[in-house]
Amino acid sequence: MRRENERLLQDHIEAFMVEASDYIRQAEVIFLHAPGLNKQLFLSESAPLAEQHHKVKSILFSNKKASYTEAVELVKKLTEVKITLEADEN
């Protein structure tokens, strides 16, 4: 049962990546959190991101399983814009 669920998840990921292929090609950077062997689903030679591996940046979570709250915080950090103004000394 576990192997079947893993295979279904892999099929779902592959189908999604095919649907998103235009967006992936247009992206300047791709953030990915896929620890261990899961990364192979995305970056192996036949995987959807193989051609775009130079755009992929890994995201690390502080614990092994990210919670929903941590994922929301991460999205906020990735989409946040900070503007820093320096005072002119002249």
Dist. CA 70–CA 78, nearest whole Å: 12
pLDDT digit string (tens) for 12-58? 888 888 888 889 889 898 888 877 777 877 887 767 677 888 888 88
Query: 90 lies in a domain?
Result: no
Query: 32 lies in a domain?
Result: yes
Dist. CA 51–CA 81, nearest whole Å: 29
Query: 64 lies in a domain?
Result: yes
Query: 84 lies in a domain?
Result: no
Statement: residue 81 has pLDDT above 70: yes
pTM for the full predicted model: 0.64
Structural domain including 7 reads 2-79
- CB burial of residue 49 (10 Å; 0-12, 13-18, 19+): buried
Query: 25 lies in a domain?
Result: yes
pLDDT at 44: 76
The count of structural domains within the chain is 1
